Amino acid sequence: MKISTKGRYALRMLIDLAEHQDSGYVSLKDIAQRQSISKKYLEQIVPILNRSDILRTSRGFQGGYRLARTPDKYTVGEILRLTEGSLSPVACLDHEPNECQNCDNCATLSVWRGLYRVINEYLDGITLQDILDQQRQQYANDYMI
């Protein structure tokens, strides 16, 4: 499984919004500049996030985007499933019940189910707030006099 640019950039965009949540609505131009991501690419990601009630939008001169919830209410798993679709390591786990003709006799199915469970548990256990806290801790440890 590889996470696409869309998934990685969506996560970076939401982390940026979480970092600047006290600034009100944030423009895509500002996010694009801080994250070194094309504004055009972010414009393609926004509709995906808007459909899922992830963002709040304000139009106009002071318009932009902000998180609809606090950073501790967003998991990395939720964000990646929105942008990537399934996080399943194999196609046969994309549907429940399993539609694969060989699932009753597949010797490796338990391996893929275990990997899928670990992936979801790991990514659902990390929130935007966790990432912000980790980043702040890293910067605090880099401080020198």
Average pLDDT over residues 106-128: 95
What CATH number is given to the structural domain containing 123?
1.10.10.10
- What's the pLDDT score for residue 144? 60
Closest C-alpha among 103, 124, 135 to residue 19:
135
Mean pLDDT of the 92-111 span:
87
Residue 66: name the closest of 77, 53, 78, 85 by CA: 53
* Domain of residue 118, residue span: 5-141
CA dihedral 29, 33, 37, 41 (to 10 degrees): 10
Of 39, 21, 37, 16, residue with least CA distance to 29: 39
pLDDT at 112 over 90: yes
Report helix, strand or coil for 127: strand
Q: Which pTM does this prediction carry?
A: 0.88
Name the residue with tokens 């019940």: 97
Q: DSSP readout, 16-83?
A: HHHHTGGG-SB-HHHHHHHHT--HHHHHHHHHHHHHTT-EEEE-STT-EEEESS-GGG-BHHHHHHHH
**pLDDT per residue as tens digits for the range 18-71:** 999 998 899 999 999 999 999 999 999 999 999 888 999 988 888 899 999 999
Tokens 């880099």 map to which residue? 142
Count of domains forming the chain: 1
